[in-house]
């Protein structure tokens, strides 16, 4: 099985969806040029995350709406898979905090709805997802999707491992004061589940919330493959499943 080349985009949230799509187009082109198979954005990148709940509800769309259609067009145009998030419409209730995996042909391969909501910030804006974690096949890999706080719980990881996943891609928006997630919890979760984890975090500030950066990729043996600092960057990481021979180009960070 060939190495899975990922680009973890550590970036502040945009002001609106128009800005998000413009920035996504540029960075998708950059990530494809450096050889990445998939680009992972932070949680809720397409609309903003901890913004006015009414604004989140107003920006909610179904997966077949114009926002994800625009992302599909970017994936096809730039020839790279994209994992990114938005508020998914949920008629009669608060939207879901969702992430879609869209391959380089522009096909939506999977959608995951965040299961484990974090605190009042999520509870005021989103309904919890009730389905098992999303899992899809891509070029011999079996790849899972989780969102932020989901990866800090055993059950979603155990579900993915039991279904044959090799790695998990995680859009996230972890906050200042919770560095232990990247430093301690992710390597421990990877080691216990046997799953490689690619954790693409936000940085900078959104309203009164400060995000802690430190986007991280860890192998299924708990080894640290790549880690960013606090500033915006595109973090490159090559993953291999546990039973594959060791990998090679070293991870690098590009500002």
Q: What positions carry a catalytic annotation?
A: 43, 114, 148
Total residues found in the chain within this entry: 255
Cβ–Cβ < 8 Å for 228, 253: yes
Mapping DSSP onto H, E and C, the string for 85-108 reads EEEECCCCCCCEEEEEEECCCCCE
Q: Torsion angle, CA of 75/77/79/83, rounded to 10 degrees? A: -10
**Dihedral over Cα of 81, 130, 195, 122: its sign:** positive
Question: Which of 249, 172, 188, 174 lies closest to 220 in space, CA to CA?
Answer: 188
What H or E segment, with its residue span, contains residue 19? Answer: helix 17-33
Measured CA to CA, the distance from residue 148 to residue 120 in angstroms comes to: 15
The string of DSSP letters for 173-212 reads: -PBTT-THIIIIIHHHHHHHHT-EEEEE-BEEEETTEEEE
Cβ–Cβ < 8 Å for 229, 209: no
Strand partners, 171: 200
């Amino acid at each position: 099985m060939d190495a899975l080349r990922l680009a973890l985009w550590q970036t502040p949230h945009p002001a609106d969806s128009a800005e998000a799509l413009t920035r996504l187009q540029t960075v998708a082109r950059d990530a494809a040029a450096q050889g990445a198979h998939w680009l992972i954005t932070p949680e809720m990148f397409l609309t903003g995350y901890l913004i006015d709940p009414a604004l989140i509800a107003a920006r909610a769309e179904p997966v077949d709406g114009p926002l994800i259609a625009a992302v599909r067009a970017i994936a096809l145009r730039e020839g790279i898979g994209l994992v990114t998030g938005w508020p998914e419409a949920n008629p009669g209730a608060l939207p879901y905090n969702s992430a879609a995996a869209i391959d380089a042909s522009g096909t939506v391969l999977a959608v995951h709805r965040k299961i484990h909501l974090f605190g009042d910030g999520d509870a005021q804006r989103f309904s919890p997802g009730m389905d098992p974690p999303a899992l899809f096949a891509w070029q011999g890999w079996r790849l899972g999707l989780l969102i932020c706080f989901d990866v800090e719980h055993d059950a979603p990881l155990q579900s993915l491992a039991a279904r044959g996943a090799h790695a998990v891609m995680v859009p996230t928006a972890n906050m200042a004061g919770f560095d232990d997630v990247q430093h301690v919890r992710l390597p421990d979760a990877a080691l216990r589940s046997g799953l490689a984890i690619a954790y693409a975090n936000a940085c900078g500030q959104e309203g009164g919330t400060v995000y802690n950066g430190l986007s991280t990729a860890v192998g299924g043996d708990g080894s640290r493959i790549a880690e960013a600092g606090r500033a915006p960057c595109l973090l490159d990481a090559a993953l291999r499943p546990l039973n594959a021979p060791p990998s090679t180009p070293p991870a690098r960070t590009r500002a």
